[in-house]
Chain A
Amino acid sequence: MGKKILSAVLILISISILIACNESEIGVFYGLAKEEKVKNYALPDHCTSESIVKTGGYLYVAASSVYKKMAEGGELDWHKIKSPDGYHNVTEMGIANDTLFILAYDSDEAKPYLFSGTGDGTWEKKDTSTIEKTISRMRVANDVIFITDRDGHLYYSNDSGSSFTQDTSLEDSKLFSTSTGNFDLVYGGGSYYLNAQYKLYRGNPGGWTEFTPTHDGKIWKDKEDVFLRLYYDEGDDRLYTGDNSGYIYAVDSPSGASGTSWVKSDSHARSGMGLQGLVVVRVPTSSGSTRKLLLAGSGVNSGRGYFIVDNPRTSERKYLDPEPPRNRDYTTVLSDFYDYNAFDLSKAAINYFFIDEYADGTNFDLYAMTYGYGVWKNTNKGGYERGWNQE
């Protein structure tokens, strides 16, 4: 009888141990080998940010305050720099002519104002009196500062914020009807590209033409879908954007006359998953490296997704086949991101990717900006499904 009881106990213990083995998606020893010590205690772990820029050998992040650290793996870690006196909640940031530009709210958080600075904590408030309505959003591209107001009007400054001109060249002089519309703007290949929520434009400040993806002469998206982030890949001279139904749109040589041949992927996400993080990364291979598009998506009811797509230059419509993870639920993939300190990137919605290219031309760090889960860095050049550490 005693032997039987002992056997039963041993079997139960064995079963419980085997069950416990299935709760992780990363190897025990592998996780230890890849773990990096958290050195930074300044950048909040639960901050929200989509603004990260690099200038003068430093990286800057706008996450309510402005945080700064040495770029390219330098020793000086994140530290907070002083906000403009009487202002806080820095929401957006950009660089023009090697100068930082931020939007910071006044003390009652009623309105954001534009400031410029050199990253040492001294700020100059810019005169934005020509912008009649309350400022809403800001993007800086090719040293031109673009600002929208709460009514969706677009303004630009090409003199480092000394003066702003309203851009009336848009179809109805507005990007969108409210201040909450999606707005993004990038520069590449000699042209600017602008996301006005339901439409895309290309051109120059004061001279925009509609650039919404078309196919067989028709707008190539569902009426209700909105465009999210824009990404210009200089290496392939290709413009990418994603929508809130998980579709990717891409066009080669977007600034040229022939740059209207858009391709559209199959949906890379379940319904309602918007694609916000877009970046082309180098993935090492046995023969060197290959360039792949890294995507991150999120939705209110559709979880989180993260995936790499292969062969971004193929012109076939279905060229964007998901690579990893094959046969896996997109919502589970983010848990592959390595996490510690109880913070799990699988819970985070990534809204922006940023690459810090090293001067050596080969190394780079990849940063993921999130809603509410801080800033994450990936130094694992071999694969982007792992090797993430919270900054």
Chain B
Amino acid sequence: MKNINKKLFLLLILFVFISGFLFAASDDDEDDDIDTYVESYSLGDQMFFINGGVFIPLFFFDKSGEVMDTNLTLGGNGSLCWQVFLSNHVSLGAELGGMFALSPNKRVLYMIPLMVKATYWFRFYPFEVPISLGLGGNLSILEEAAHIDFIAKPSIGFYWNFNEEWAFGANATYWFVPQMYSGSGKVPESNSMFGNFMDVSLSVLFRF
């Protein structure tokens, strides 16, 4: 339980810090000389991301609010993402990901999320800070047990533009997976749990 509280606390600090940084940066944007402003992207510009990194299990909680340890080790995750710009600051696309982590008895949990993902881009040339929200479905597999659930993945990234086409960066992403059972099948309703995880990944971005 202590570990979970510590993780939550660190997560909260991280978001507060980054949010403050971004709001400050947004204020600075207003001071920019509008005459020199040039839009970086326009409708139809596309991007492709390859991400890979560490998967960090946080905690589960059930419908009564009881928090439980995930009993998972640190794992690995990766994803492929394609997005298209709708405007200079907003992009929309899809992401297919995957992760693995081990249980205490070396059983492997796999999760495969497939999401629609929207991103808002803050720019501080040559850096960019995307804030994203992905919503979709997630397939969880643990040996013979499998289940498809809703998933929400808010994330924040930090990218350095190497040139017009390539950028390199990192993302921190929260995974919220409500795994609900109706009780009408073999699994009783009491097995419903809310999964909370995060990942930290390195990313390569290609624009075309």
Q: B5 contacts the other chain (Cβ, under 8 Å)?
A: no
Do the beta carbons of A21 and B105 come within 8 Å of each other? Answer: no
Do the beta carbons of B144 and A28 come within 8 Å of each other? Answer: no
Q: Closest CB-CB distance, B108 to chain A, in whole Å?
A: 11
Q: A316 contacts the other chain (Cβ, under 8 Å)?
A: no
Do the beta carbons of A23 and B146 come within 8 Å of each other? Answer: yes
Q: B60 contacts the other chain (Cβ, under 8 Å)?
A: yes
Question: Which residues on A sit within 8 Å (CB–CB) of B142?
Answer: 28, 31-32
Known contacts: A22-B185, A24-B187, A35-B71. The answer to whether A29 contacts B104 by CB under 8 A is no
Bound together, the chains give a CA A23 to CA B144 distance in angstroms of 6
Do the beta carbons of A29 and B179 come within 8 Å of each other? Answer: yes
Q: B75 contacts the other chain (Cβ, under 8 Å)?
A: no
Do the beta carbons of B191 and A30 come within 8 Å of each other? Answer: yes
Q: A6 contacts the other chain (Cβ, under 8 Å)?
A: no
Q: How large is the interface on A (under 10, 10 to 19, 20 to 34, 35 or more residues)?
A: 20 to 34
Q: Closest CB-CB distance, B70 to chain A, in whole Å?
A: 6
Q: Closest CB-CB distance, A191 to chain B, in whole Å?
A: 41
Interface residues of A in 4-21 (CB under 8 A from B): 17-18, 20-21
Known contacts: A22-B185, A27-B179, A28-B141. The answer to whether A37 contacts B105 by CB under 8 A is yes
Q: B109 contacts the other chain (Cβ, under 8 Å)?
A: yes
Interface flags for A19-61 (1: CB within 8 Å of B; 0: not) read 0111111111111110111100000000000000000000000
Q: B193 contacts the other chain (Cβ, under 8 Å)?
A: yes
Binding site for A on B (CB under 8 A): 60, 68-72, 103-105, 107, 109, 139-148, 177, 179, 181, 185-187, 190-193, 195
Bound together, the chains give a CA A205 to CA B117 distance in angstroms of 78
Do the beta carbons of B109 and A32 come within 8 Å of each other? Answer: yes
Do the beta carbons of B146 and A29 come within 8 Å of each other? Answer: no
Determine the residue in chain A with the shortest Cβ distance to B181.
A27
Q: A301 contacts the other chain (Cβ, under 8 Å)?
A: no
Binding site for B on A (CB under 8 A): 17-18, 20-33, 35-38, 340-341
Determine the residue in chain B with the shortest Cβ distance to A19.
B146
Do the beta carbons of A27 and B186 come within 8 Å of each other? Answer: no
Do the beta carbons of A35 and B60 come within 8 Å of each other? Answer: no
Contact of B103 among A21, A23, A24, A32 (CB under 8 A): A32
Most chain B CB within a 10 A radius of its CB, from A23, A29, A31, A35: A29
Bound together, the chains give a CA A38 to CA B71 distance in angstroms of 13
Question: Which residues on A sit within 8 Å (CB–CB) of B187?
Answer: 24-27, 30
Most chain A CB within a 10 A radius of its CB, from B70, B103, B145, B177: B145
Determine the residue in chain A with the shortest Cβ distance to B112.
A17
Determine the residue in chain A with the shortest Cβ distance to B66.
A33
Known contacts: A17-B139, A22-B186, A23-B145. The answer to whether A29 contacts B105 by CB under 8 A is no
Q: Closest CB-CB distance, B145 to chain A, in whole Å?
A: 3
Contact of B144 among A24, A35, A37, A341 (CB under 8 A): A24
Do the beta carbons of B146 and A24 come within 8 Å of each other? Answer: yes
Question: Which residues on B sit within 8 Å (CB–CB) of A341?
Answer: 105
Contact of B193 among A20, A24, A25, A29 (CB under 8 A): A29
Question: Which residues on B sit within 8 Å (CB–CB) of A35?
Answer: 71, 103-105, 107
Question: Which residues on A sit within 8 Å (CB–CB) of B192?
Answer: 27, 30
Question: Which residues on A sit within 8 Å (CB–CB) of B143?
Answer: 24, 340
Bound together, the chains give a CA A18 to CA B69 distance in angstroms of 27
Do the beta carbons of B109 and A26 come within 8 Å of each other? Answer: no
Known contacts: A24-B146, A26-B145, A27-B145. The answer to whether A38 contacts B105 by CB under 8 A is yes
Contact of B146 among A28, A32, A36, A340 (CB under 8 A): A28
Q: Closest CB-CB distance, A41 to chain B, in whole Å?
A: 12
Bound together, the chains give a CA A340 to CA B145 distance in angstroms of 12
Do the beta carbons of A340 and B109 come within 8 Å of each other? Answer: no
Determine the residue in chain B with the shortest Cβ distance to A32.
B71
Determine the residue in chain B with the shortest Cβ distance to A342.
B143
Most chain B CB within a 10 A radius of its CB, from A17, A26, A30, A35: A30
Bound together, the chains give a CA A341 to CA B103 distance in angstroms of 11
Do the beta carbons of B148 and A17 come within 8 Å of each other? Answer: yes
Bound together, the chains give a CA A30 to CA B193 distance in angstroms of 6
Question: Which residues on B sit within 8 Å (CB–CB) of A32?
Answer: 60, 70-72, 103, 109, 142
